[in-house]
Amino acid sequence: MFVKIAIMQPYLFPYIGYFQLIHTVDVFVLYDDVQFIKKGWIHRNRLLVNDKDYLFTLSLQKSPRETIIKEKFFSDQFDYEKGKLLQLIEHSYRKAPFFNEVYPLIQHIISHQDRNVCSFIYQSLVAICGYLEIKTRFIFSSEINKNNALKGQEKIIEINKLLKSDCYINPIGGTELYSKARFREEGLELYFLKPKLIQYKQFGAEFIPWLSIIDVLMFNSKDIVKNFLNEYQLI
């Protein structure tokens, strides 16, 4: 059996390219035992609000700079902020063609009570993958008995070997980080996933790309979104 894996930090309601990556592999590793970096996509994303790109954020509990992702928690304002986010989504998308199908799914996800960031994101990814009939298996990197002294590319290679992977697929942004020749030395294939520009009708005349998966689901049928999952190139 030819086994493909991807390794990504857990992102909150990520864009379609993240789900393309999940869809194309057999095992998706949530990279939860690395340092949390501010200004990423772990606790925020972008929605369409009044025909414009709007960045929403769920605030985090303060913690030391070196805190790893699995030890991050949402703040004491979690319930309030989740309520405000649901209101924003309802107000912004209630006239979208697939609101009635998708809003209950988002409500279910946001009702999750665990303030641990990884737990919350994990259940959200599982729920959305269930809706899209994606069968990929998720595991957390913290559950893999690996050499944590390794860094960067060498740690990624070790995770691949421990999971008996044949092929590692990374987002296109990682082309400078990983070497196909180095992976080949270890008997691994390396590819980079580049999403094609996916366009669909939103409310306004001007299309705003790469918003949260919420936007994609609100404006497209399940079958269309499932087709979008294959709109990429492997380089």
Q: Which two tokens stand for residue 203?
A: 């409310």
**Distance between CA atoms of 45 and 16, rounded to whole angstroms?**
12
DSSP character at residue 162: H
Burial class (CB in 10 A: 0-12, 13-18, 19+), 226: middle
DSSP character at residue 73: B
Q: What is the pTM of this model?
A: 0.97
Instruction: Identify the CA nearest to 118 among candidates 68, 186, 165, 79.
Output: 68
Q: Quick one: average pLDDT of 61-70?
A: 94
pLDDT score of 204: 84
Angle of CA points 60, 65, 70, to nearest 5°: 60
Give the pLDDT confidence of 157-196 residue by residue, as tens digits. Answer: 999 999 999 999 999 999 999 999 999 999 999 999 999 9
CB 80 within 8 A of CB 86: no
pLDDT score of 38: 83
Give the pLDDT confidence of 201-224 residue by residue, as tens digits. Answer: 999 889 999 999 999 999 999 999
Tell me the CA end-to-end span of the chain in Å, nearest whole number: 22
Domain borders along the chain are: 4-234
Strands 189-195 and 232-234: antiparallel
E strand or H helix at 235, and its extent? Answer: none
Count other C-beta atoms under 10 Å from residue 41's C-beta: 17
